[in-house]
A and B are shown apart, each in its own frame.
Chain A
Amino acid sequence: GIQVEQSPPDLILQEGANSTLRCNFSDSVNNLQWFHQNPWGQLINLFYIPSGTKQNGRLSATTVATERYSLLYISSSQTTDSGVYFCAVGRDYKLSFGAGTTVTVRA
């Protein structure tokens, strides 16, 4: 199956700081999604981004499919941004998840 590596595994930020999370994958894909897992365990869909760049408020994401990586940017972080961020990729529907980046934003 497709291997997905996320870095860094853990990230501690001061409120207001910016950060970049990375997702590398081992094969060509036609689906890439970023999720935020909240403290209740729910997976919140952030971006569907198999290629290109998207922005949603303080979050943005870029996927360079030819180089097999995606980046998630968090700007002006807030304590509510804390949680685990997962990258998931797929080819022909089934998603393979990375191990996640645990983000802790301190007030």
Chain B
Amino acid sequence: EPEVTQTPSHQVTQMGQEVILRCVPISNHLYFYWYRQILGQKVEFLVSFYNNEISEKSEIFDDQFSVERPDGSNFTLKIRSTKLEDSAMYFCASVAILEQFFGPGTRLTVL
């Protein structure tokens, strides 16, 4: 069964550094999402991406964040200058029609 994959599984970085989180959505899916979950809290929507552009973003998704689909398979989330409060689990999801399929997540720790 096709699945969404994410790399790395765990990323540790210093405050102020740039990080890129990578996702490979299910092929033939057209909508892509990033969500995040701060430890102990609910999962929050960050951004949705369709047809090579952002279709919706939350208040969390400020100028420090960007998304890109650099090729036909990868979907990336970049955080330009990480803050302590960016420490969280980041999930990528892709959609064919309505059901969202989530990747295993990347745990980001900012020191």
Contact = CB atoms under 8 A, between A and B. Distances in A.
Interface of A: 30-31, 33, 35, 40-43, 45, 48, 50, 86, 88, 90, 93-100
The interface residues of chain B, by DSSP majority, are classed as strand
The interface residues of chain A, by DSSP majority, are classed as strand
A45 B2 CA distance: 13
Given A42-B105, A43-B102, A94-B56, A86 B95 contact: no
Interface of B: 31, 33, 35, 37, 41-45, 48, 55-56, 89, 91, 93, 95, 98-102, 104-105, 107
B107 A41 contact: yes
B101 A45 contact: yes
Nearest to A88: B43
Nearest to B45: A94
A97 B99 contact: no
